[in-house]
A and B are shown apart, each in its own frame.
Chain A
């Protein structure tokens, strides 16, 4: 039962075919068997399941969210202690789900992989030589490695969607503000969102709906998508020199598949990408500097080298820079809103390449090309769905973006794509 959907797990428990104890033991056994390789779990807890519709279903939590009775380290030697439980976690717990483990994160959800954190970097279940992506690194490794069906992550510039794409799972970033952010150590509050990484769209949608009922994320999963208009933003990535040819092929195939399902594909133009990434980076670094400057002043030596050097860059920014960045963000939001006035969703890749190798990071942080950060600036909900596997056996993800509070539509489309799309089995690494 550990590999069935969380609804099926809950139904089996309601029918008496499975107990919460059985599922907890199976999860522990799997963690014991696989996580030495995956390196995703940083704290394993004994938690009693409360009564509820999802009683006993285990989940993992990125170690930047507070969970009652469990430590929060934020992947950093500079962090200790924990505050009251995050509302997002508490709502899942109230439904009977069990927060069994805290999962690895890049330090303060910022930069990685790094080797001077309290734990070694999580590994990509599809290939141990490759990173998971971040910053929800442990959440991605744990779900892709079959330890949990669902894990919570946070997404400030792509930190749910990019590791989901790199690891061949689903990553759902809700509308900004849809999930309460309390109990989550912030990185950039105007961009931060809590969202699920999951083994399938249904698991992601069900989990989001429990955390944010008003999203009704799982309400339309079974509806077909015939007649829906999809805006395919091909020019936004296909000519970028950083875009791998296999990503272009995968996205064209995904657009064709959506067309076969009855959706109407229309090429659309989004604003130039480079200024958007610049604006998002300025906002993120300015806010991260404000969040961390006091802590940096008192705990400088306890931060990892890459993290502290990254965080202090925000000190160069002036209020005028941030004001101009926010103006770019508003303009982008208006452009996307206009497109979504006559499209049910936009289609782009999540990342422009498969997961890089660990060896690519030996000389320090490496910029990796994605198409995620602008939708943190605009606040639109977005989901990454596995869409292809490269010749080297690494997953790629397609990103769908919907109107604000359009999670039901987004999950409907993603579910249709997932059901009709290619399936890649389970990774060999860590799952033998």
Chain B
């Protein structure tokens, strides 16, 4: 997922977030995604 994908996902969910704020939120979202991808178990998502 990229910052642009994240921004699009938020807008698809109806969140009225500006591009600027989506970019500001992306580093924390990326850290969360990294954490999630490091969890043990089968990667079937």
Contacts and interface: CB of A to CB of B under 8 A. Distances in A.
A308 B28 CA distance: 12
Interface stretch (A83-91, A99-107, A190-198, A316-324): A316-324
A297 B28 contact: no
A320 B25 contact: no
Contacts of A312: 10, 15, 17, 25, 29
Contacts of B36: 278, 282, 316-318, 321, 324-325
A293 interface: yes
Interface string B10-45: 100111110001001100111011011111111111
A132 interface: no
A269 interface: no
Contacts of A267: none
A275 B32 contact: no
Contacts of A325: 36, 39
Contact of A282 (B14, B21, B39, B43): B39
Given A314-B32, A325-B39, A309 B13 contact: no
Interface string A416-430: 000000000000000
Nearest to A301: B16
B40 A313 contact: no
A281 B35 contact: yes
Contact of A279 (B16, B24, B30, B39): B39
A310 B35 CA distance: 15
Interface residues of B, number: 28
Interface in A311-344: 312-321, 323-325, 327-328
Given A309-B21, A309-B24, A315-B13, A327 B41 contact: yes
Nearest to B13: A293
B13 to A, nearest CB: 6
A291 interface: no
A222 B1 CA distance: 56
A316 B24 CA distance: 15
A318 B41 CA distance: 14
A297 B14 contact: yes
A300 interface: yes
A219 interface: no
A320 B44 contact: yes
A296 interface: yes
Contact of B28 (A309, A320, A327): A309
A135 interface: no
Nearest to B35: A278
A76 interface: no
A323 B44 CA distance: 10
A309 B25 contact: yes
B9 A275 contact: no
Contacts of B9: 315-316
**When A and B form their complex, which 10 residue pairs have the shortest distance between CB atoms, in order from nearest?**
A320-B45, A324-B41, A297-B14, A321-B36, A318-B45, A309-B25, A313-B29, A278-B35, A324-B39, A316-B33
Interface of A: 275, 278-279, 281-282, 285, 293, 296-297, 300-301, 308-310, 312-321, 323-325, 327-328
15 contacts: A278-B36, A282-B35, A282-B36, A297-B13, A313-B28, A314-B32, A315-B13, A316-B1, A316-B6, A316-B32, A317-B33, A318-B36, A321-B37, A324-B36, A325-B39
Given A282-B35, A313-B29, A313-B32, 14 more contacts: A275-B40, A297-B16, A301-B16, A309-B25, A312-B29, A315-B13, A316-B1, A317-B32, A317-B36, A318-B36, A320-B44, A321-B37, A323-B41, A328-B41
